[in-house]
Structure 1
Amino acid sequence: MAPSPFSPDRPALVRRLRAAGCVYAEDEAELLIAAADSAASLTRLTDQRVAGLPLEHLLGWAEFCGLRVAVDPGVFVPRGRTALLVAAATAVAGPAPAVLDLCCGSGAAALVMHGRLAPRWLAAADIDPAAVACARRNLAPLGVPVYEGDLFAPVPGQWRGRLDVVVANAPYVPTEAVSLMPPEARLHEAPVALDGGVDGLAVLRRVADQAVGWLAPGGHLVVEVSDGQVDALCAAFVARGLEPTVRRDEEVDATAVIARRPG
């Protein structure tokens, strides 16, 4: 006799997820059911989700800008707000740009920009080996290289002074605020992807320091930051000879700063 078809109790699953604090319990329930192939596997996935594991790590992917991006355990999960960063970078890229996705995490930004632009060169880089491995899974089929190292250090020197766009979703959470983040982030994503130093801008200042030498004249550095950090970051960019402008999307609580190298 053939085994009985898998028939989950959706209302019970939704109630359990909602009790655990999942805001979008109905949507999560459907995703967990789709990822399970039996009642036992659904129970296992649900137990892990209720225990606080990020949904994206359980599914193995995250939706970003309409694409399904592979996300491995421990790797920074791309946020919906980062769509503004990608849109801002795309708007200033120009024809056939040379583009670098710095602090790339899963490589989500590079993946989207590959489809929106016609870059003459596109690459990504991250310091976290787990993120690099994940980004390579996402980007290798597109022929996009992913380098492992601190900021620009692993990027081929031939591109120094020739990059049209550098996108950097660098960490910008102040150190003391990391402990206040949702457990999905602070317990299950790499600290190096979250902690931006005392005021949250330590890594972004280093990015700006180095980007000046890597950008082509007229090139742009595009970064994500919190709204309360905009003035300090813009001042830091100006001090380094960059010309900043700010874009906001209040609907998704997103802020991007676009800093142009004069020329």
Structure 2
Amino acid sequence: MSATPTTLSESVIVTRLRAAGCVFAEDEARLLLAAPVSPTELAEMVDQRISGLPLEHILGWTSFFGLRIEVDPGVFVPRRRSEFLVHEAAALAGPGATVLDLCCGSGALGVALASVVSGIELHAADIEPAAVLCARRNVEALGGHVYQGDLYAPLPAALRGRVDILLANTPYVPTDAIGLMPPEARFHEPHVTLDGGVDGLDVQRRVVASASDWLSPGGHLFVETGEGQAATTAEIFEAHGLSARIAASDELYATVVIGTLRT
């Protein structure tokens, strides 16, 4: 007769996570222990974390903007700094606004915005099949729509000229800098969600180039970028008919360029 597995104690989990280099071992241990799983499954989850799998992919969710967002393995994990982009968008989004979350990943940005702006019409798109499946669970629960394809390509024509708020957390890491990112990102998130090309702005350029076709008169585009890239991103906005300003949060180490379609 086999013995019943014993649940790992919090102290043991913390010790093992610390030894593996997990900076927030105590917080992670509490989250793992709170998961509704058997002792055997808990031990497997701890082993997965020690092997380098992102905690969010192990749990199946992450906390973002005070919400629980489902995040599947192989899907980009929304960073807390991106909450600043949502705050900036919320300040300009009126009730009932038409919102497009481009390069949506899990759909976290659009879902977060919907939590503070009433009655928005939410649309989201991503090129990654795994991200689209994940985003559909998060976005469609709010009555939104999710499309799979490259940037604007899969969007319905009826959206042209109607988007009041365009959220675009595009990849902005220069190709040569990806090797410096934490292993959790490099090995467990799709390369396409990280690589922004030689200067990190390739995807931003493509988003901005066509934004005016989709924005409503006076509509706004929000793009997260690096502090050192922001001035160039703003120049790209201006070159494509958008007045641009840069907003930054020292607390979240976040920089967002906000463009408004000139009318």
Distance 1:15 1:209, change over 3 A: same
Distance in 2 of aligned mates of 1:7 and 1:102:
42
Name the counterpart of 1:232: 232
Q: Which runs of 5+ in 2 are unaligned?
A: none
Matches within 5 A, 1:192-207: 192-207=192-207
- Write out per-residue CA displacement over residues 179-202 of structure 1, whole angstroms, 9 at most, x where no aligned residue: 111011110001111111110000
Amino acid at match of 2:253: D
SS at 1:195's partner residue? Answer: coil
SS at 1:187's partner residue? Answer: helix
Q: Is 1:35 matched with 2:35? A: yes
Name the counterpart of 2:141: 141
Name the counterpart of 2:74: 74
Name the counterpart of 2:117: 117
Distance in 1 of aligned mates of 2:30 and 2:126:
33
Q: Is the 8 A contact 1:81 1:252 kept in 2?
A: yes
Please report the RMSD computed on the Cα atoms of aligned residues, expressed in angstroms: 1.5
Name the counterpart of 1:87: 87
Report the CA distance between 1:4 and its aligned residue.
7.4
Distance in 2 of aligned mates of 1:23 and 1:120:
38
Query: Which sits farther off after the overlay, 87-96 or 99-108?
Result: 87-96
Q: Is the 8 A contact 2:222 2:259 kept in 1?
A: yes
Query: Which sits farther off after the overlay, 110-119 or 191-200?
Result: 110-119
- Equivalent pairs: percent with the same residue? 55
Report the CA distance between 1:119 and its aligned residue.
3.9
Name the counterpart of 2:50: 50
Matches within 5 A, 1:8-23: 8-23=8-23
Name the counterpart of 2:103: 103
Report the CA distance between 1:5 and its aligned residue.
9.6
Q: Is the 8 A contact 1:104 1:126 kept in 2?
A: yes
Distance in 2 of aligned mates of 1:39 and 1:124:
38
Report the CA distance between 1:250 and its aligned residue.
0.8
Q: Which runs of 5+ in 1 are unaligned?
A: none
Report the CA distance between 1:120 and its aligned residue.
4.7
Distance in 2 of aligned mates of 1:85 and 1:99:
13
Q: TM-score, normalised by structure 2?
A: 0.95
Amino acid at match of 1:164: D
Distance 1:33 1:160, change over 3 A: same
Distance 1:24 1:109, change over 3 A: same
Q: Is the 8 A contact 2:167 2:222 kept in 1?
A: yes
Name the counterpart of 1:61: 61
SS at 1:252's partner residue? Answer: coil
Distance in 2 of aligned mates of 1:120 and 1:139:
12
